[in-house]
Structure 1
Amino acid sequence: MIKLIECPRDAMQGLPDFIDTSIKAAYLNQLLQVGFDTIDFGSFVSPKAIPQMRDTAEVLDQLDLFGTHSKLLAIVANLRGAEDACQFEQIDYLGFPLSVSETFQQRNTNKSIQDALQAVEEIQNLCQTNGKQLVTYLSMGFGNPYGDPYSPELVAGFVQQLVDLDIQIISFADTTGSASPELIGSLYQINAQAFPAIEFGLHLHTQAQDLAPKINAALAAGCQRFDGALKGFGGCPMAKDELVGNVATEQLIALLQVKGYDLGLKMDEFAEALKLAQVVFK
């Protein structure tokens, strides 16, 4: 079954103007009515690094989870953030950005890869103790612009280390929009065959005209977990000077529906969310 993860946190985090807490909550409450598997709603990180997300706890207090099956995911960058997130019963998943690029790991979390792997182990232990599940994002999972080493074999080595920690959800992130359909297909196929018990996801940053062949390649290789953001807003502010946007959820839904997938979404509520997105991201 296809799982759609809507990522308003990723869409908002790089915006220079602060979005009022009540507006964020209203938007998230509308998204919760649509029927997405998971909402990546906020992050517990340094407000100096990502000032847009400094009100995540306050937003969470305003969310109405009654009548929705959508789960909540919060991004953390260190053990302290994970401890803060674990205080909230409403949060199901913690997400950690682990990079296969040493340069980007430093830029994104101010850690070396080795230190980041240690943080992953500590956060995984915390999740298991507190009834949460850790989603690990392998950023720069399809290459990087910094000249750091990259190969599918390198990525597989990271996957093995995460499997050894009993992490069960790993999402490959194309942070700078450089992945080709061929690389997406081969990376998923290789890892899905090697680790059949792992749920592998895809977090793309891409230009709209390149989306269909990339999604088709992932589907053909067996991927069933996809991240998106309405209207394709967002991108990683830590990646490089120019942002490459997220997958536009409405385009992703259209692609999947044409292929006959029943996504279990309330499309009338989705239409309302699209209207609200135009206000939130004006």
Structure 2
Amino acid sequence: MTTTTFPNSTQGETRTVHIREVGPRDGFQNEPETIATEDKIRLINALGRAGLKRIEVASFVRPDVIPQLADGVAVLRGIDVPADVSRMVLVPNSKGLDNALAHRDLFEEIALFVSASETHNRRNINRTVQETMDDVRGMGKRIVAEGVSYSAVIATSFGCPFEGPVPMERVLDLAERFAESGATELGFGDTTGMCNPAYASRFFAAAVERLPGVEITAHFHNTRGQGLANAYAALEAGCRSFESSCGELGGCPVPAGSTGNIATEDLVSMFHEMGVDTGLDLDRLIAAARDAQSTLGRKLTSHSIVAGPVIWAPAV
């Protein structure tokens, strides 16, 4: 991997961020055409070779609900990533946790989730927020007892397409309840792309202050074109952990029209130009995203797929 010092990068101490790739789960689940298991495996292997240390691989949801993820166990068994890559699975409820723990040897991290919006939670998993959080207490204890890394995700943290603004206090209260159940990482999801940089700055400053000792992760969608700006605002507010998806894959099935996550390669390109260390090989990330584009047979919306990385000519 080649490290380049850009003329417009931030001077002073180098900042380091951690990026989790969510394309193989969060990205692919919204694709209408069934993606072959071997294509998923090839993409995950390529992402692992690009230096990603954390990849969201699969979800233990009912196959009739999300058929695209029905081959999750086969994907987990088939991938060949470096030994230092942490494989994450998403679990919706206690039944999903039972199924996941039956394959405990195939992953290192489990993520539980809830929507901060009551309406979105009902439409997404057909439960109230309280029902979900009641289940979380028991699931969290089981995950911790198994010695698995436990993360939590709060969807619609920055706004709900059905209810409108979501109070910051409600989101942070849910985050504290997850932390009390044993979660060591809290991810805040801009599920339908309703955040803006000013609010991201205030929100992540408050989250970092209120949740000491917990890894704070930003998960932005680019539905309205503000994803990278929001990531920058979160970075400046003290967030050092991000989730993104190769090729800008993804979206939210509830409601329609919610487009993908920020592209991993675009996020990394921005950070590298700013002098922020990601530990990732941008060329390999772009190659993986282009392979995903070829597999899907349609043009993806990542800018780096088209433009490639920034290359500065040597000074004359």
TM-score range normalised by the length of the shorter chain: over 0.9
Contact 1:103 1:148 in 2 (8 A): no
Instruction: Select the residue among 55, 63, 66 that pairs with 1:47.
Output: 63
Local SS of the residue matching 1:159: helix
Q: How does 1:63-74 map to 2 (within 5 A)?
A: 63-65=79-81, 67-74=82-89
Could you tell which deviates more after superposition, 222-231 or 87-96? 87-96
Q: How does 1:101-120 map to 2 (within 5 A)?
A: 101-120=117-136
**What is the CA distance between 1:149 and its match in structure 2?**
6.9
User: 1: CA distance between counterparts of 2:258 and 2:163?
Assistant: 19
User: 2: CA distance between counterparts of 1:176 and 1:149?
Assistant: 12
Instruction: Select the residue among 269, 274, 279 that pairs with 1:254.
Output: 269
Aligned residue pairs total: 280
Contact 1:208 1:247 in 2 (8 A): no
Contact 1:189 1:222 in 2 (8 A): yes
Instruction: Name the counterpart of 1:76.
Output: 91
TM-score (normalised: structure 2): 0.84
Pair 1:241-2:251 in alignment:
no
Letter aligned with residue 268 of structure 2: I
**What is the CA distance between 1:266 and its match in structure 2?**
3.0
After superposition, give the CA deviation of every residue in 1:155-179 in whole Å (9 maximum; x if it has no partner): 1211221222232100000011000
After superposition, give the CA deviation of every residue in 1:1-22 in whole Å (9 maximum; x if it has no partner): 3111111211100111111111
Local SS of the residue matching 2:57: strand
User: 2: CA distance between counterparts of 1:268 and 1:212?
Assistant: 19
Pair 1:274-2:296 in alignment:
no
Q: Let me know the Cα RMSD of the aligned residues.
A: 1.6
Instruction: Name the counterpart of 1:38.
Output: 54
Pair 1:174-2:190 in alignment:
yes
User: 1: CA distance between counterparts of 2:120 and 2:286?
Assistant: 36
Contact 2:192 2:223 in 1 (8 A): no
**What is the CA distance between 1:70 and its match in structure 2?**
1.7
Instruction: Name the counterpart of 2:3.
Output: none
Pair 1:132-2:148 in alignment:
yes
TM-score (normalised: structure 1): 0.94
Letter aligned with residue 95 of structure 2: R
Instruction: Name the counterpart of 2:207.
Output: 191
Percent of aligned pairs with the same amino acid: 28
Pair 1:24-2:40 in alignment:
yes
**What is the CA distance between 1:280 and its match in structure 2?**
2.5
After superposition, give the CA deviation of every residue in 1:39-98 in whole Å (9 maximum; x if it has no partner): 111111011111100000011111113x34221111111112112222232311111221
Local SS of the residue matching 1:96: strand
User: 1: CA distance between counterparts of 2:234 and 2:186?
Assistant: 14
Contact 2:37 2:71 in 1 (8 A): yes
User: 1: CA distance between counterparts of 2:47 and 2:229?
Assistant: 27
**What is the CA distance between 1:38 and its match in structure 2?**
0.8
User: 2: CA distance between counterparts of 1:173 and 1:33?
Assistant: 26
Instruction: Name the counterpart of 2:73.
Output: 57
Instruction: Name the counterpart of 2:248.
Output: 232
Instruction: Name the counterpart of 2:308.
Output: none
Q: 1:85 to 1:145 in 2, by over 3 A?
A: same
Pair 1:2-2:35 in alignment:
no
Contact 1:25 1:63 in 2 (8 A): yes
**What is the CA distance between 1:270 and its match in structure 2?**
2.4
After superposition, give the CA deviation of every residue in 1:136-166 in whole Å (9 maximum; x if it has no partner): 1110100112126721111121122122223
Contact 2:109 2:148 in 1 (8 A): yes
Local SS of the residue matching 1:13: helix
Letter aligned with residue 3 of structure 1: H
Letter aligned with residue 253 of structure 1: V
Q: Which runs of 5+ in 2 are unaligned?
A: 1-15, 298-316
Pair 1:157-2:173 in alignment:
yes
